[in-house]
A and B are shown apart, each in its own frame.
Chain A
Amino acid sequence: MGAICDTISFVVSDYNCVARALTVDEYEELAARALPSSQLFNTEDKEKIILSCLQEPKELIDLIIDGSIIYGIPELVFESILQLSGFSITKEEREETLNEIRDFIKTDVVSSCKIMIIASGLMNLEQIGKLTFLQLLERVALAEEVLFIQQQNTIAAMSGGEPLKLMWDVVDSSTAQIQQIHDSKQNEVQALLDEQTTMRGGPGIRRL
Chain B
Amino acid sequence: MVEKNVTEEETEVKVDEFEALGATLKTYGVPDDAIAALPEFKKRYGKFRVAYLGSNVYIYKRLTWGEMKEITNKLSNFAKGPNASEATLRIADLELQLEKAILYPSVTPDNASRYPSGDLETLQALITEFSGYVDTEPVVEDY
CB within 8 Å of B: which residues of A? 13, 35-37, 40-44, 47, 63-64, 66-76
B67 within 8 Å of A (CB atoms): yes
Interface Cβ pair total, 8 Å cutoff: 76
Closest B residue by C-beta to A66: B66
Could you say which of A40, A47, A63 contacts B69, with CB atoms under 8 Å apart?
A47
Q: Are A71 and B89 in contact (CB under 8 A)?
A: no
B65 within 8 Å of A (CB atoms): yes
Chain B residues with a Cβ closer than 8 Å to the other chain, count: 26
B73 within 8 Å of A (CB atoms): yes
Q: How far is the CA of A35 from the CA of B65 in the complex (A)?
A: 18
Within 8 Å CB of B73, what residues of A? Answer: 42-44
Q: Are B63 and A35 in contact (CB under 8 A)?
A: no
B71, B73, B75, B85 pick with most chain A CB within 10 angstroms: B75
Q: How far is the CA of A74 from the CA of B62 in the complex (A)?
A: 14
B133 within 8 Å of A (CB atoms): yes
Within 8 A of A (CB), among B44-91: 62-69, 71-73, 75-76, 79, 84-86, 89-90
Q: Are B89 and A37 in contact (CB under 8 A)?
A: yes
Within 8 Å CB of A44, what residues of B? Answer: 69, 72-73
Could you say which of A35, A47, A63 contacts B76, with CB atoms under 8 Å apart?
A35
